[in-house]
Amino acid sequence: MKLYGFPGSPNTWKVLALAQHAGVPIELVLVDLTKGDQRQPAYLALNPTGRTPALVDGDFVLWESTAILQYVA
């Protein structure tokens, strides 16, 4: 699984914290909010809202942090 997010974001942080606690391996892919990465076409193709985080597991994509937490758990 890949988590597209910004480490300083509370929503990204809570997903990473849960994954670590549960022993679920997640690769963090940096979406640098300070550089506007969340508005790039490649990211918007994953998450049309342009917000972080977004989780990609194969062909499955989630972009709401609460839904991601439930999926990881």
Bridge partners for 61 per DSSP: 56
Task: State how many domains the chain has.
Answer: 1
pLDDT in tens, 18-49: 999 999 999 999 999 999 999 999 999 999 99
> What is the CB neighbour count within 10 angstroms for residue 17?
11
Parent domain of 45: 2-72
- Percentage of the chain modeled with pLDDT above 90: 100
Residue 33 belongs to domain with CATH number: 3.40.30.10
pLDDT of residue 35: 97
Q: What is the DSSP string of 30-66?
A: E--GGGTGGGSHHHHHH-TT--S-EEEETTEEE--HH
pLDDT of residue 9: 95
Structure tokens, 69: 């937490």
pLDDT of residue 72: 97
Q: What is the pTM of this model?
A: 0.94
